Amino acid sequence: MASSEAPREARALKIFHCRLIPPRPDFAFTMTEEERALMGRHADYLREKLREGIMIMAGPVADPAGPWGLLILRAGSEAEARVVTDGDPVSSWGCGFRYEVLPMISVIM
């Protein structure tokens, strides 16, 4: 191998808790047709990340303060995790979605 970069499998991957905060607390219940289509593209994107082995799981959380999205990722660094969240169609939509990305200290899997 000519590159000094280790193959992805050889690197120690970390687990990241990513919280997708919607543009409004009642978003899950008041989506417009345009927003519903966006959520379809979001789900397709996440399914691709699952196939790639980057995503471990994702789904909406029934928080009494308002539902939000949970995304658990496997990545080499926070920067790599942010590449995934920044690539999500909801991130580039420009209507108030935002991700919080936090590394897990330890994980039992």
In DSSP notation, the chain reads ---SSPPGGGS--EEEEEEEE-SSTTHHHH--HHHHHHHHHHHHHHHHHHHTT-EEEEEEE--TT--EEEEEEEESSHHHHHHHHHHSHHHHS-SS-EEEEEE-S----
User: In which residue are the tokens 């995790």 written?
Assistant: 81
Give 33-70 pLDDT, tens digit per residue.
999 999 999 999 999 999 999 999 999 999 999 999 99
Terminal Cα distance for the chain, rounded? 32
d(CA 30, CA 71): 22
Please, are residues 98 and 21 in contact by the beta-carbon 8 Å criterion?
yes
pTM for the model stands at: 0.86
Q: Which has more confidence, 20 or 8?
A: 20
